Amino acid sequence: MKAPKLLLGLGAAWLAGWLLVPAPALADRAARMTPAVRVVQAAGPAVVNISTKTRVQTRLFRSGDEAMDRFFEEFFQPMQREQTSLGSGFILDGRRGLIVTNGHVVSSANEIRVQLSDKRVFPAQVVGADPQSDLAVLRITPKGALPQLKLGDSEQIMIGEEVIAIGNPFGLSHTVTVGVVSALGRKVRTNGNQWMQDLIQIDASINPGNSGGPLLNADGEVIGINTAIFQQAQGIGFAIPVNRVRRVVEDLVRYGEVVPAWLGLELQDLTPRLAQAFGLTEARGVLVTQVLENSPASEAGLERGMVLTSLNGREIKDSGDYGLALAEVGVGQEVRLGLRQGGQTQERSLKARAFPLERAMEISWRRLGFSVTDLDAPTALRQRVRTGTAVMIDKVRKGSAAEEAGLMPGDLIRQVGDGPTPNREAFLRQMAKHRLLPRITVLAQRGGVAQYLTLGPE
């Protein structure tokens, strides 16, 4: 009977001793203030939640023939339903209330609302959007200035460096994920035959709703905009480099659209045989095949036969690199070109101009193999489409990519890339924007059948 008392006494002694042991010292708060924590605390207030509402019309009958569909609409009114979506963005200019996000976050939206980190909600208007780069700028009108983020330099990104993504995945506001830069210069297929190029690959978790949110480095600078994910993969996300963001946003704010920059050069990729002929040890760079008259390049003294090796310090290995580098150049910006000629290296400076639209049809004829004209009312009626929805091919060049694809005079072109072509001017603008891509996708229609065609060298 005494044993339990002994055990009880020992237990009480042990408990008393345990209670007398001092609690472990709380971790030093300063030691827990990692770079990621500091970035989130500083940048978080400038990250916003974007919600949209889109009214979508659905037809009870779809025949594939627009004239027949219009006939049915007279008797059966289309049904309307409302779609909602969520995305992210960040404040670029707190004084003017300018917000940057992905273009697909706000495309076709009838109503856009922006929620700040302090829970205030504002209606937003689209300042401009660019489907090709998938970027858009919104404006809100709050009272007083707002916090804003600083843009970094995507040319300084290092593979392996830590990055922080802030966004609103699945509507969970201000979610933070941390990872590293996995790779640079990635190319990812988006919708249909469209591609996004020169993306930053990261392993920070990116989910639906993160689109448009900032990707930050350890200094708190925006180095990209989170934009794309592989739905079937884990640890693979993509972001648009901030240098492209900066250039597109400047044009959207100034002009409401992206104005393509032009130097006046026609270029050709180098092959090993061509490189040897021009005295080069390797096929790196692009060969100048033509310098257009009255262009920035001609005024800077560039000549046929020169090899372009860099643009603003960025190495140019092929025509794809040239297109990506020029996409970051704004109209009126000074451009430095690195060149080789006759075994000698040199540098020339010139100022980019807006691409002259009158040359866009020439590009369509030479590269794609067709020219277009506006669609008049009688032709639209014969084609069973609405006027102002397409342009019509009037000529097809023999032996061209268009002829090989089966295009014929009288066929309609409804899109170039992601951009609609309701008239000839819109077609020229889209050709100007897509002219530097190695292959150009068009949406062609004959009768009631429409299909995407990608034209250019394989």
Give the domain ranges of the chain.
Answer: 42-139, 154-255, 261-354, 357-455
pLDDT at 341: 86
CATH T-level assignment (fold) for domain 154-255 = Thrombin, subunit H (2.40.10)
Catalytic residues: 104, 134, 211
67-76, 282-291, 344-353: which has the minimum mean pLDDT? 67-76
The string of pLDDT tens digits covering residues 390-414 is 999 999 999 999 999 999 999 999 9
Q: What is the mean pLDDT of the chain?
A: 85
For residues 43-70, average pLDDT = 74
Q: At 135, phi and psi to the nearest 5?
A: -125, 150
Sequence-distant (6+) residues with CB within 8 A of 434 are 132, 416, 417, 440
pTM for the full model? Answer: 0.79
pLDDT grade for 449, boundaries at 50, 70 and 90: confident
pLDDT grade for 18, boundaries at 50, 70 and 90: very low
CATH of domain 261-354: 2.30.42.10
pLDDT at 7: 47
167/137 Cα distance (integer angstroms) = 17
Evaluate whether 261-354 and 357-455 have a shared fold: yes
For residues 28-53, average pLDDT = 88
In this model, does residue 262 exceed pLDDT 80? yes
pLDDT at 242: 95
In this model, does residue 1 exceed pLDDT 50? no
CATH architecture of 357-455: Roll (2.30)
What are the strands of the beta sheet with 135-139, ordered from one edge?
Answer: 121-123, 111-115, 47-58, 79-93, 98-102, 135-139, 125-130
pLDDT at 207: 79
pLDDT at 419: 85
Q: At 123, phi and psi to the nearest 5?
A: -70, 150
255/357 Cα distance (integer angstroms) = 16
**Under CATH, to which class is 42-139 assigned?**
mainly beta
The string of pLDDT tens digits covering residues 299-331 is 999 999 999 999 998 999 988 889 889 988 999
| Whole-number percent of the chain with pLDDT over 90 | 50
Residues 125 and 137: beta-carbon distance below 8 Å: no
